[in-house]
Amino acid sequence: MQLSTSEISELIKSRIKDFSVSSEARTQGTVVSVTDGIVRVHGLSNVMSGEMIEFPGNTFGLALNLERDSVGAVILGDYEHISEGDVCKCTGKILEVPVGPELIGRVVDALGNPIDGKGPVKTKETDKLEKVAPGVIARKSVSQPVQTGLKAIDSMVPIGRGQRELIIGDRQTGKTAVAIDTIINQKGQNMKCIYVAIGQKASTIMNVVRKLEENGAMEYTTVVSASASDSAALQFLAPYAGCTMGEYYRDRGEDALIVYDDLTKQAIAYRQISLLLRRPPGREAYPGDVFYIHSRLLERAARVNEAYVENFTKGKVKGKTGSLTALPIIETAAGDVSAFVPTNVISITDGQIFLESDLFNAGVRPAINAGISVSRVGGAAQTKVIKKLGGGVRLALAQYRELAAFAQFASDLDEATRKQLERGKMFTELMKQAQYAPLTVSNMAITLFAANNGYLDDVPTEKVLSFEKALHGFVASKYKAVVDSIEKSLALSEDDEKKLTKAIEDFKASNAY
């Protein structure tokens, strides 16, 4: 027999002592119908929208539709034991989830219950699931970077702390891989991570958790899981639950990163609930407020100023800004970004990373389409060194795309055009990166420095990546001072530049690649 912590005699004593014996007045109703997790209740005249309703068997529901003669509610969890005629009652509360650092390293469901078999989560606080995002006065512009460790993203579509950057692409284009790599790279960056899995296979979630554990990322990560077999209500609520857990850090002057994988499935779950509640369907059968479910969620990802944090913590934390960075994921069908949900989320977020099947199949991984991927606010947050060196990549790739159509006439082209084509090809190759192998800022700077200054122009395309790897090893062993200097200042001084030039020349002379 297991004993839980709530059974300590002192605790029981105090709880019994504090328990006030008074009559309880409440409103109750009768279940009229139960259909696929949606119940209609007669009565409950005082119920509020979004209020929790208690059903028999310690089951709770969420009142969503308040109509003239009935209340439509969605059951959270199992609903098989609820039948017509059951009595339910108002609780006067709205849904809350546990929050706090105790959740780190844990896998929980959409209501914050642990599902990883590591025992109860001993959080001290709970917080509301649905909250209003901070207003304009409480905000501060994005100015600190989130290092994803991916060359293609950090140099071309930089992400700042407090930004919402969409990852969009067809199935099997490496969307989750980009997000997981970003989480793995947050080690030692003072960033708490939350990964919200919505409507995914339990085996996929399990693999993600295992990969995070293997890479030591579970030390600062919480996984919120609403798998494909969980009810639509839980899949709909999981992102809000994850967001509340992330806001805990934001409001206390810390930085957090949240990945919603993926919001398409959340919209589908919400569509199911809405249709069962008999709300009128609109475009693609989504209800009228499908934009709002995503906008109110993503608006909560923000950077808040010192005054907000100080006010929130009642003066305990001073002079610190907090942030919640969101990486929502959207899955498109056959590259169709003009479908309803993708256009909505594109318009809500501060930029998007486009992943393409064609590039993925051609071996360009991460399969980022540099032409249509943008970051609207991240430029202000980019580290100085990457900002200085990264500009060339975008330009080279843009010129390459323009000229790519002529590539087949290679022999007839003039020298300048051919050179540009080759440079573009080299940069495309250079932007490839293996999974679970994020790069440090200094290594990224070394790579970009070498490429910008033409040291890679005479390297055969297929050897570019091995050149890069060997160069990183060489500089780290023989010119450690440069690496340390870049890591410390996150900028490239003239002195560093000279040393780096010498290092690369030495390396090329050694012919070690």
Partner 1 sequence: MAEISTVARPYSTGIFSLAKETKKLAEWSEILHLMATVINNKDMLAFVSDPKIVDEEKEKLLIDLMGKGLSKEGINLVKLLIENKRLGIVATISKMFDELKDIDQGTIEADLVFASKPSKEEVDELIKSLEKKFKKKIEANVKVDEDIIGGTIIHVGDTVIDASVKGQLSSLAYNLKA
Residue 250 designated active-site: no
Check binding of 42 to partner 1 (CB under 8 A): yes
Range in contact with partner 1 (rule: CB under 8 A) among 39-47, 192-200, 300-308, 460-468: 39-47
Whole-angstrom Cα distance, residue 75 to residue 96? 15
Residue of the chain from 9, 10, 17, 21 that contacts partner 1 (CB under 8 A): 21
Question: Which span (16-24, 379-387, 421-429, 435-443) binds partner 1, by CB under 8 A?
Answer: 16-24
State which residue, 35 or 141, has the beta carbon closest to partner 1: 35
Q: Residue 26, interface with partner 1 (CB under 8 A)?
A: yes
Q: Which is nearer to partner 1, 15 or 463 (CB)?
A: 15
Which residue's CB is nearer to partner 1, number 24 or number 414?
24
Question: How far, CA to CA in Å, does 166 sit from each of 8, 37, 171, 173?
Answer: 47, 31, 15, 14
Among 43, 174, 199, 239, binds partner 1 (CB under 8 A): 43
Q: Checking DSSP bridges between strand 107-108 and strand 221-226, what pairing results, if any?
A: parallel
What amino acid is encoded at 100 in this protein? G
Select 42 or 316, whichever has its Cβ closest to partner 1.
42
- Cβ burial of 3 (10 Å; 0-12, 13-18, 19+) is exposed
Q: What is the 3-state secondary structure (H, E, C) of 284-351?
A: HHCCCCHHHHHHHHHCCCCEECHHHHHHHCCCCCCCCCEEEEEEEEEECCCCCCCCHHHHHHHHHCCE
- Which stretches within 431-463 are classed as H helix? 441-452
Closer to partner 1 by CB, 29 or 134: give it: 29
CA 82/CA 57 separation, integer angstroms: 8
Segment lying near partner 1 (by CB under 8 A), choices 27-35, 93-101, 109-117, 331-339: 27-35
Binding part of the chain for partner 1, among 23-31, 229-237, 291-299, 327-335 by CB under 8 A, reads 23-31
Q: Does 12 bind partner 1 (CB under 8 A)?
A: yes
1, 2, 3, 6: which one contacts partner 1 (CB under 8 A)? 6
H or E, element range at 478: helix 464-478
Q: How far is the CB of 33 from partner 1 (least distance, A)?
A: 10
Query: Which secondary-structure segment (H or E) carries 396?
Result: helix 384-403
- By CB under 8 A, residue 45 contacts partner 1: yes
Residue 384 interacts with partner 1 (CB under 8 A): yes or no:
no
8 Å CB contact between 59 and 52: no
Please answer whether residues 356 and 152 qualify as being in contact, where contact means their C-beta atoms are separated by less than 8 angstroms.
no
Closest to 333 (Cα-Cα) out of 89, 114, 121, 170: 170
Considering the complex, what minimum distance in angstroms separates the CB of residue 23 from partner 1? 3
Select the residue interacting with partner 1 from 68, 124, 314, 488 (CB under 8 A).
68
Helices 232-251 and 290-298, interaxial angle, to 10°? 30
- Report the distance separating Cα 354 and Cα 504, nearest Å: 33
Tokens for 254, please give them.
């810390």
48 binds partner 1 (CB under 8 A): no
Closest distance between partner 1 and the C-beta of residue 117, in Å?
21
Q: Taking the CA atoms of 477, 481, 483 and 487 in sequence, report the sign of the dihedral they define.
A: positive
Minimum CB distance to partner 1 smaller for 95 or for 456: 95
Least separation in angstroms between CB 42 and partner 1: 8
Options 376, 394, 401, 418, the catalytic residue: 376
Q: Per CB under 8 A, which of residues 74..93 are in contact with partner 1?
A: 89
Stretch that binds partner 1, among 68-76, 147-155, 165-173, 211-219 (CB under 8 A): 68-76
Helix (H, G, I), strand (E, B) or coil at 50: coil
Does residue 124 interact with partner 1 by CB under 8 A? no
Counting contacts by CB under 8 A, is residue 125 touching partner 1? no
What letter would DSSP give residue 411?
G
Contacts of 84 (CB under 8 A, 6+ apart): 31, 32, 33, 34
8-state DSSP, 2: -
Supply the DSSP symbol for 281: P
Residue type, 487: E
- 68 or 488, CB closer to partner 1? 68
Pick the stretch among 26-34, 184-192, 235-243, 257-265 that binds partner 1 (CB under 8 A): 26-34
Contact 107, 97 (CB under 8 A): no
**Which one among 1, 3, 16, 405 touches partner 1, defined by CB under 8 A?**
16
Candidate residues 35, 49, 57, 67; the one interacting with partner 1 per rule CB under 8 A: 67
Q: Which stretch binds partner 1 (CB under 8 A): 24-32, 144-152, 334-342, 347-355?
A: 24-32
Comparison of 96 and 289: residue with beta carbon closer to partner 1: 96
Nearby residues of 66 by Cβ (< 8 Å), 6 or more positions away? 47, 49, 72
Total residues interacting with partner 1, rule: CB under 8 A: 25
Among 1, 5, 9, 25, binds partner 1 (CB under 8 A): 25
C-beta of residue 209 within 8 angstroms of C-beta of residue 218:
yes
C-beta of 18 vs 458, nearer to partner 1: 18
Specify the DSSP element, H or E, that contains 74.
strand 71-76
User: Does 28 contact partner 1 by CB under 8 A?
Assistant: yes
- Interface positions with partner 1 (CB under 8 A): 6, 12, 15-16, 19, 21, 23-29, 32, 40, 42-46, 67-70, 89
Active site residues: 376
